[in-house]
Amino acid sequence: MVPSDTANEFRLADSDEAESFADFIQSFLSANDFPFVIIHNAPQVSGSSRRVLFEDAGVGRKFAREWVRRRGVLGEA
C-alpha cells in the first residue's frame, strides 16, 4: 500500500491543461525510469482533479515540484 504522504492532488483548469498534464506524466515517468505510480481521475463540474501517488515519496515530491514549475512557465507564456 502507498503511504498517504506520497500523494499529490492537482486541479486542472480545462481540457488543454489536462492534455498537458498527461503529456507531462508520460515524459516524467520515462525520464525517471518508470517508477510505480497510481493516478486517480476525479472529474468535477469545473475542470478536473488528478490524485497522483508514487511508491517513493522523493519521486512524488520531485513530480509535484516539476509540474508546478512547468505550470507556472506555461501560464506565463
pTM (whole model) above 0.85: no
Residues in the chain: 77
pLDDT category of residue 16 using cuts at 50, 70 and 90: confident
Q: Which cell is 4 given? A: 498517504
- Name which residue leads in pLDDT, 76 or 72: 72
Per DSSP, 55 falls in state S
pLDDT of 25-68, one tens digit each? Answer: 999 999 999 988 888 886 654 557 888 999 899 999 999 999 99
If DSSP codes are grouped into helix, strand and coil, which group holds residue 1?
Answer: coil
Rounded to whole angstroms, the Cα distance separating 40 from 3 reads: 15
Nearest to 71 by CA among 3, 5, 10: 10
